[in-house]
Structure 1
């Protein structure tokens, strides 16, 4: 039986209303000891506590202990819902129904990233339902916000069950034709959020994709789909992440930051990825109905040994480069400018339906 406990995480100014409001936290508990905490700020998943093979609990997602931490590090999007369109839009421009659409260019003044200056990660979501196994949040994004046409209403249902499944169902409807590609940007380390690079390198990763979206040095898609076979980007079988990180070097940083093309039916939720930490026995599976899976290895976090300013997270933890990973389900980046990519266009009366399930568990301490 899942319990839902509410408390106040802090206060913040809602950028949509400019009014101060409480940031509410809803913590979902299972009888087996797992728990997940969700904030109304940005729809953020603030903690995920999962037992290991010896029933020892650890928080396996990166985050902060207070509202100020999330505001200071807003550009990292830890645990947040990102949109209206996740990932990059080339030049912040595209055509829709014959019209030129110009979005805010919130990254390097060159392109649009994760919804703009005030994306879904920045707003305080409304609580529209508290259920026996979770909570439903809602946000209404107005016509013209960050340049996007059409008002949309987004509902996200978060749920947890006794089998260790954290589910997010993201639904949206638009009043006018627009583009929608919403993602959930959680960064994980299955050894524990505070354990850093050394334990991340122990992880085993499997991604059920034979290709990925090719990008330029600014991570903007070239329009090509590249096969991963016989490259360091091939995770079609369970593969040691440390070994692969050592094979990938990119200027100015090294690591993975790639959208994989997974073969799914939009009407079915299928397994697309698996991560295992052999030393603790914890594993995570990702099931979704989305065609893209963005794999990222926290490349932009600080390198303190090179003089970078520390990023201080929960419990005073210093989060460092390659100390975590994300596997974000979504459609392909910059799909509006690439007609061969799965479409992000949503028309009035059409339901945008994005489902993702994170299944956590523990197995004996071997893969």
Structure 2
């Protein structure tokens, strides 16, 4: 039986109301010892504790011990729900219903990233339901916020079960035609959140995708898809991540930060990715109804080998370049400017329904 434990994580100013509010934390605990903690600040996944093949629990989710940590490192988006549109919109501009729409250009003053200056990651979400297996949070995004037309109401149901499945169901409805592409920017290291680059290189990764979205040096899509076969981006079978990282290390982004085209049926939730840390036995599966999976290897974190100042996370851990990985389910980046991509446009009366389940466990220890 799953227990839901609530405590106060801290206080913060809600940018939507300019009022100081409590940041609440909800910890979902299974009888087998697994737990997941979610904050009302940014609907953020703050902790995921999973046992290895010996039953030893470790927190495998990168994050911070207090509200100040999340504010200091806001651009990392660790564990945060991002939107109204996750990822990039080129030039912060698109056409909708024949009209030009300009959203905030919050990155390098050139394009829109993860919802803008005050995205879903920055607000304090309302709690609208506490259930036997989880919690539901809500945010109402006003018409015109960050340039987006139409008021949008978003509900996220977070749940955990005894089989190690941590699920998020993100539903949204709009009062006017707009675009929606909500995601959660989780970062994991299955050896433990603070174990760094060496253990990340030990991971094995599988992504069920035959192509990625081709993009330029600014990671803006060109509108084309690139086949992964016979390239370092091929994870169609379980592959050592360290080997692949060494193959792409000298590329412009020094690692992986690519949208994989998993192309599942929107009415079905299917397995699209798997990560395994052989030394601990821990694994994570990703099941979703979304067509894209943004796979990222924390390329923008400090590189201690170049004497860059580390990002200090939970328990004083040093978060460094390639110290974690992210598997974010979503639509393709800049889809609103690419008509061949799965659409992000939602009309009034239409339901945006994003389902994702992260299944955690441990493989038996090899003799």
Superposed displacement of residue 252, structure 1: 4.5
Superposed displacement of residue 249, structure 1: 3.1
The equivalent residue for 2:283 is 283
The equivalent residue for 2:112 is 112
The equivalent residue for 1:95 is 95
The equivalent residue for 1:151 is 151
The equivalent residue for 2:189 is 189
Matched, 1:75 2:92: no
Superposed displacement of residue 306, structure 1: 1.5
Separation of aligned partners in 2, 1:288 and 1:194: 27
Separation of aligned partners in 1, 2:339 and 2:252: 30
Superposed displacement of residue 304, structure 1: 2.3
Q: Tell me the TM-score normalised to structure 2 length.
A: 0.99
Matched, 1:345 2:340: no
Equivalence map 1:251-290=2 (5 Å): 251-290=251-290
Give the secondary-structure state (helix, strand or coil) at the position aligned to 2:244: helix
Separation of aligned partners in 1, 2:125 and 2:51: 30
Separation of aligned partners in 2, 1:200 and 1:70: 23
The equivalent residue for 1:334 is 334
Q: Tell me the TM-score normalised to structure 1 length.
A: 0.99
The equivalent residue for 1:58 is 58
Give the secondary-structure state (helix, strand or coil) at the position aligned to 2:247: coil
Any idea what the Cα deviations from partners look like across 1:33-64, whole Å, max 9, x if unmatched?
00000000000000000000000000000000
Any idea what the Cα deviations from partners look like across 1:64-110, whole Å, max 9, x if unmatched?
00000000000000000000000000000000000100010000000
Separation of aligned partners in 2, 1:321 and 1:155: 33
Superposed displacement of residue 25, structure 1: 0.3
Give me the CA root mean square deviation: 1.0
Distance 1:177 1:16, change over 3 A: same
Separation of aligned partners in 2, 1:272 and 1:5: 31
Superposed displacement of residue 308, structure 1: 1.7
Q: Report if the CA contact (8 A) 2:267-2:289 is conserved.
A: yes
Separation of aligned partners in 1, 2:194 and 2:84: 31
The equivalent residue for 2:9 is 9
The number of aligned residues is 367
Separation of aligned partners in 2, 1:252 and 1:348: 40
Separation of aligned partners in 1, 2:166 and 2:293: 17
Superposed displacement of residue 250, structure 1: 4.4
Q: Report if the CA contact (8 A) 2:217-2:252 is conserved.
A: no
Instruction: List gaps (5 residues or longer) in structure 2.
Output: none
Separation of aligned partners in 1, 2:52 and 2:258: 29
Any idea what the Cα deviations from partners look like across 1:154-175, whole Å, max 9, x if unmatched?
0000000000000000000000
Superposed displacement of residue 260, structure 1: 0.4
The equivalent residue for 2:242 is 242
The equivalent residue for 1:38 is 38
Equivalence map 1:19-34=2 (5 Å): 19-34=19-34
Separation of aligned partners in 2, 1:124 and 1:228: 39
Separation of aligned partners in 2, 1:38 and 1:59: 13
Separation of aligned partners in 2, 1:44 and 1:184: 8
Superposed displacement of residue 251, structure 1: 4.9
Matched, 1:128 2:138: no
Superposed displacement of residue 310, structure 1: 1.7
Name the stretch that deviates more: 197-206 or 252-261: 252-261
The equivalent residue for 1:363 is 363
Instruction: List gaps (5 residues or longer) in structure 1.
Output: none
